[in-house]
Amino acid sequence: MTGKLLEKNDIIELIRDGVKQYNLMTPKCFESLVVKGDLGNMDCLTSFISKVLGLGIVVGSSLVKLPQVFKIMFGGSAEGISFMSVLLELLAITFAGLYSYAMKFPFSAYGESVFLAAQTSLIAMMVLWFSTGKLASIVFLAVYGAGVFLGLDPKLCPVEVLWYGQAINIPMIVVGKFMQIWANFSNGHTGQLSAITTFLLALGAIARIFTSIKETGDQTIIATYIVSSTVNCIIALQVMWYWSATNKALAKKKTKKE
């Protein structure tokens, strides 16, 4: 009996160490949910779910735009992708990440910004590479990198300035995404837009509404994700609506190349 009790205590301590390492819940919530098994403690339970969901979004974001990157890379074309839409999305992601970092929010609340910014900047560079030329893409990447470096310096870019950057995210997201929405409508297809990336971005934005409410309480960030989820869902619906037309348009372009 004593051996079983020790074994159970060892398992609890192991879980406690893991929870503490990844900051999944407070010691008080650990005692309530894990030790006492009180799943009726909704405040602790929703906070734990938010943490796990947030970390899941961060991990998933490291891969979410790779299908789009590969589609442009292997297709040798960025047809149907609006550079201004990608640029405005990149600026919105970057401002959100810099602001959250300056506010010292938990990494689980904004960590995807790091991975999404890296992948989105690569997509923007590739769009320029295939449409404008190599020099423009290299210059763009250098300017963007310098901007991020300056944004991380609290002396050069205080949190008050970053707040304004976060505040203009909403109009930037709306304008940027509607450029892509209009491009899809005008073309009658979605070109090289990746369906996987589009759907995952929409789902991620919806999930972020919940985690932002629980982990930051910042009304500007919450409103940003509400708007982001709306326009991302519209693009996801366009991908489904134009599915057949997109396949025909890409096949036709491939035939012309050959």
As to burial, measured by CB atoms within 10 angstroms (0-12 exposed, 13-18 middle, 19+ buried), residue 252 is exposed
Residue with tokens 């326009």: 231
Query: Alpha carbon of 190 to those of 4, 115, 230, 244: distances in Å?
Result: 60, 24, 18, 10
Mean pLDDT taken over the chain: 84
Q: What is the pLDDT of residues 183-231, one digit of tens each?
A: 899 989 888 888 888 998 899 889 889 888 888 888 888 898 899 999 9
> How far is the C-alpha of 108 from the C-alpha of 24, rounded, in Å?
9
Q: What is the pLDDT of residues 15-29, one digit of tens each?
A: 766 666 666 777 788
Task: Using alpha carbons, select from 88, 216, 194, 158 the residue that is nearest to residue 235.
Answer: 194
Residue with tokens 């030329």: 133
> How far is the C-alpha of 255 from the C-alpha of 258, rounded, in Å?
5
Return phi, psi of residue 41, to 5°.
-80, 85
Confidence (pLDDT) at 18: 66
Judged against a pLDDT cut of 60, whether residue 5 lies above it is answered with: no
Kindly indicate the confidence band of residue 2, based on its pLDDT and cuts at 50, 70 and 90. very low
Residues of the chain with pLDDT > 70, as a percent, come to 90
Q: What is the dihedral of CA 164, 169, 170, 175, to 10 degrees?
A: 130
Judged against a pLDDT cut of 70, whether residue 9 lies above it is answered with: no
Q: Can you give the pTM of this predicted structure?
A: 0.71
> How far is the C-alpha of 185 from the C-alpha of 200, rounded, in Å?
21
Which helix (H) or strand (E) is 87 found in, with range? Answer: helix 83-102
At residue 157, the 3 state secondary structure works out as: coil
Q: 87 and 176 in contact (C-beta within 8 Å)?
A: yes
DSSP string, 88-139: HHHHHHHHHHHHHHHTT--HHHHTHHHHHHHHHHHHHHHHHHHHT-HHHHHH
Tell me 81's DSSP state. Answer: -
User: What does the radius of gyration of the chain's CA atoms come to, in whole angstroms?
Assistant: 22
- Stretch 170-175: mean pLDDT: 86
- Stretch 40-64: mean pLDDT: 81
Task: Using alpha carbons, select from 141, 129, 120 the residue that is nearest to residue 197.
Answer: 120
Task: Using alpha carbons, select from 74, 77, 63, 90 the residue that is nearest to residue 191.
Answer: 77
Q: 16 and 30 in contact (C-beta within 8 Å)?
A: yes
